[in-house]
Copies of this chain bind each other. A is one copy, B any other.
Amino acid sequence: MPSKAVDYAHSQHDRFLEELFALLRVPSISTLPEHAGDVRHAAEILVAELKRIGMENVRLIQTAGHPLVYADWLHADEKPTCLCYGHYDVQPVEPVEEWHTPPFEPTIRDGNVYARGAVDDKGQMYMHVKALESLLQAHGRLPLNIRVILEGEEEVGGEAIARFVAEHPEELTADFALISDTEMFAPELPTLCVGLRGMIYTEIEARGAKTDLHSGMYGGAAPNPFVALAQIIAQLKDAGGRILIPGFYDKVVKPSSDELRAWESLPFDEEQYRKSEVGSSVLTGEAGYGVLERTWARPTLDVHGMPGGFIGAGAKTVIPAKAVAKISMRLVPDMTPKETFALYKQYVESLRPKGIELDVRLIHSGDPIVIGTNNPYVKAAQNALHQVWGKDTVFIRSGGSIPIVGDFERNLHIPSVMMGFGLPDDNLHAPNEKFHIANFYRGIDSLIVFLEEVGK
């Protein structure tokens, strides 16, 4: 892999990391309205940097929500066009007391940078920017055409980019997308993700009395919205982890026997996974399926929080007028968000307890995706990874959702190459999120070599 661009990147490691730290210090939490200014600030940093490295037509695109960042370089006639996608928004940091160092003060420990967004997705998104800088510095041009589109709403459903892709597909014309927002199956094991679960994120609001009531005075007469939600949730999933919504599994396509066999050969130690990643006494989920199949290729249902009532320390004897359950489902091919939400809503409403009114809301959704391993860009990625890591690529799926992959497929009719460098213990969406610094550097190398391969 002799590459002037890789040499350049190696010469700039310290600066690249410092720049990433500056970006990580911006608390761009997209779901919290009070951080809207920070989300915009992160976008502005990226606009300035894309201009500085020599990208063209760099601009902030206003949306109804957080802004998009666009840039391009389109002077490689006859060469393919790559659409580089990433997101600069991050998840909330609760429970903040469980962070060993503050989430927005990036800190290096044991070769990792700890910060909210370190791996999801600021660190991985910034690898793209630095790969493009290295190519432009080394050659004065890029080996293929590039468009960059970055969003600030990935963690809240990506509504603005979805609308932009649907309404302005001509501004994002490309042959394939490149996304680094996934993880490697294991350290040192180059990985391409060729399948994603979809999702629907919902809220059930249960309303009983017209106002909060004292449980001494009214206990025994007033409906309790939390009890109602508990009764509903208990009927969504059985003790064995099987989801009880009628018709829920009807469209589920089982992975091919080739794919299942390949997964069985992956270096996966279930007991190690249970102990070091999950840390629970046993793993849960549907009987009869392995962990990889359960988390990659089976639909699931989780409850994320139940706002309402009294949640402070101590005792308040209130029967709350209302309570909410935040519930999401992960979907697999060929389930669709629309059909699944309809089945769910109908079933939940059929479970409505006495005295309770229900409002079942869809907050956001994303399609499940499977991409073929024979795709030429996937092949080029496999080739590049072999050069940088010296090993065969493993093809995995991810249990998470990247709704934009569905948007690109539906509106731009292009596949996505999901080349990510996160590690399984990076604490995504949790306290003490981290990114392995060596992976940040080798990720940049991999992206450079991949883009050079495609441009050959």
Contact = CB atoms under 8 A, between A and B. Distances in A.
B300 A220 contact: yes
A283 B354 CA distance: 8
Q: Which 4 A-B pairs have the closest CB atoms?
A: A210-B279, A216-B400, A305-B309, A234-B234
Contact of A222 (B215, B235, B284, B424): B284
A310 B316 contact: no
Interface in A391-420: 398-401
A31 to B, nearest CB: 4
A361 to B, nearest CB: 11
11 contacts: A94-B310, A199-B216, A210-B278, A212-B429, A214-B429, A218-B277, A221-B278, A230-B230, A280-B355, A306-B309, A316-B326
Nearest to A311: B307
A317 B199 contact: yes
A217 interface: yes
A353 interface: yes
A165 interface: no
Interface stretch (A17-25, A184-192, A290-298): A290-298
B304 A309 contact: yes
Contacts of A400: 214, 216-217, 317
A427 interface: yes
A308 interface: yes
A305 B330 CA distance: 26
A274 B354 CA distance: 14
Contacts of A70: none
A305 B294 contact: no
A231 interface: yes
A117 interface: no
Contacts of A259: none
A237 interface: yes
A279 B94 CA distance: 35
Given A31-B315, A222-B280, A211 B305 contact: no
B215 A302 contact: yes
A67 interface: no
A98 interface: yes
Contacts of A81: none
Given A156-B315, A212-B431, A430-B211, A278 B222 contact: yes
A313 interface: yes
A233 interface: yes
A285 interface: yes
A260 interface: no
B304 A221 contact: no
Contacts of A356: 280-281
A91 B309 CA distance: 13
A211 B430 CA distance: 7
A388 interface: no
Given A217-B399, A220-B399, A281-B355, 14 more contacts: A91-B316, A211-B432, A220-B241, A221-B273, A221-B284, A223-B282, A224-B302, A226-B303, A231-B233, A303-B309, A304-B315, A305-B311, A315-B363, A315-B364
With most chain B CB atoms within 10 A of its CB, the pick from A226, A295, A432 is A226
Contacts of A325: 226
Contacts of A223: 280, 282-284
A330 B285 contact: no
Contacts of A291: 220-221
A2 interface: no
Given A230-B233, A282-B354, A314 B156 contact: yes
A318 B304 contact: yes
B320 A304 contact: yes
A222 B315 contact: no
Contact of A278 (B218, B235, B312): B218
Contacts of A398: 216-217
A263 to B, nearest CB: 14
A376 interface: no
Contact of A234 (B31, B230, B311, B354): B230
A370 to B, nearest CB: 16
Given A315-B201, A315-B326, A212 B399 contact: no
A208 interface: yes
